[in-house]
Amino acid sequence: MEVFVVSLLNGLVYGMLLFMLASGLTLIFSMMGVLNFAHASAYMLGAYLAYTLSLYVGFWIALILAPILCGLMGAAIEMWGLRRVHKNGHIAELLYTFGLVLIIEKVVQMTWGLIAVPYRIPSGLDFALFDLWGTDFPAYRGFMLLISALMFLSIWLGLTRTRIGLVIQAALTHPDMVGALGHNVPRVFTIVFAAGTALAGLAGVIGGNYRVTEPSMAFSMGPIVFVVVVFGGLGSLTGCFIASILMGMIQTFAVVLDYSLADLLAVFGFIVTKATPGSEFLMVTLPRIAALLPFILLVLILVLRPRGLMGTRDT
């Protein structure tokens, strides 16, 4: 019971962090068709900017400023880079954002150094919210949950209930028509890209001190975010949300369940011993591959349901 409840909370916190990162990417990916490799780099940049800003103006102002700076960077990337590259098709865009990943990582290393920076949780949030059988639940994790829930709500309301949201949705499917109606379609794209990057920056501000702010953080977080986006389905914020929580839960619970394929076979009366062919493979326990499960799921969903969990189209 104790392990179950604590794991549930762990999974929820991790899932929501994934969602914060993935929501921006899914916005960009589904609306512009751009597979933005540099998304996790914006996450890293958000963390580093927040660290530096918090030294001067405190955490709370950094929480607002850092995502805005990331958003501005995103707008610049879209206006002066991506828009030109876009003409040459998806491969060019892919390579362009991949190049950005390398550049941003190098810039971060040159600016902030190669080792982790001491970006800490603000003292106002550095206490235990409640205690579960001797395990503290830090207030900061509660704060993360709150921010990500607010984020989900505001994106969803923004897209479905506001005028700009409607124009964005229309511009994605029928750009020519929206243009003919007098809307500035390139600017809509810029706004989407900037907003997506700002969201990644926000995730960085929140995740940077929850985890560790170091130059490899983009590289380590990048792949899992793609898994969430593809798994959740293109163009679906709800799908992205469900996929994030699911990935968080799967990884968390896989760790505490000490079972292997051999145990599963034993249920059917088939005992695996060292002599059984493939016993090495069959006896690998779930925790040992917990971190790889999302990638296995990615492969499965691409084969069985290419559009993803809640996707509306196949591309």
Write out the binding residues for another protein, residues 236-275 only, by CB under 8 A.
Answer: 248, 251-253, 255-256
276 in contact with another protein (CB under 8 A):
no
Question: How many residues interact with another protein (rule CB under 8 A)?
Answer: 44
Among residues 3, 103, 149, 177, the one that binds another protein under rule CB under 8 A: 3
Burial 278-289 (b: 16+ CB within 10 A, else e): eeeebbeebeee
67 in contact with another protein (CB under 8 A):
no
211 in contact with another protein (CB under 8 A):
yes
Name the nearest CA neighbour of 147 among 3, 39, 40, 46. Answer: 46
Cβ–Cβ < 8 Å for 224, 247: yes
89 in contact with another protein (CB under 8 A):
no
Residue 187 or 211: the one with the smaller Cβ distance to another protein is 211
Smallest gap from residue 39 Cβ to another protein (A)? 15
- Say what angle helices 163-173 and 185-210 make with each other, to 10 degrees: 110
203 in contact with another protein (CB under 8 A):
no
Q: Tokens representing 74?
A: 């995103």
278 in contact with another protein (CB under 8 A):
no
Q: Is 285 helix (H, G, I), strand (E, B) or coil?
A: strand
221 in contact with another protein (CB under 8 A):
yes
What lies within 8 Å, CB to CB, of 300 at 6+ separation is none
Phi and psi of 254, rounded to 5°? -60, -30
- The one-letter amino acid code at 146 reads L
219 in contact with another protein (CB under 8 A):
yes
Sign of the torsion angle spanned by Cα atoms 279, 284, 286, 289: negative
Site string for another protein, 134-163 (x = CB under 8 A): xxx-x-------------------------
Name the nearest CA neighbour of 199 among 158, 252, 168. Answer: 158
Scanning 54-62, 129-137, 263-271, 300-308 for contacts with another protein by CB under 8 A, the matching segment is: 129-137
Scanning 51-59, 82-90, 133-141, 228-236 for contacts with another protein by CB under 8 A, the matching segment is: 133-141
Place of tokens 């958000």: 46
Residue 14 or 37: the one with the smaller Cβ distance to another protein is 14
Name the nearest CA neighbour of 229 among 308, 300, 303. Answer: 308
What lies within 8 Å, CB to CB, of 280 at 6+ separation is none
Residue 42 or 77: the one with the smaller Cβ distance to another protein is 42
Scanning 2-10, 34-42, 73-81, 307-315 for contacts with another protein by CB under 8 A, the matching segment is: 2-10
For another protein, the binding residues (CB under 8 A) are 2-3, 6-7, 10-11, 13-14, 17, 109, 113-118, 120, 128, 134-136, 138, 211-212, 214-217, 219-221, 224, 248, 251-253, 255-256, 287-292
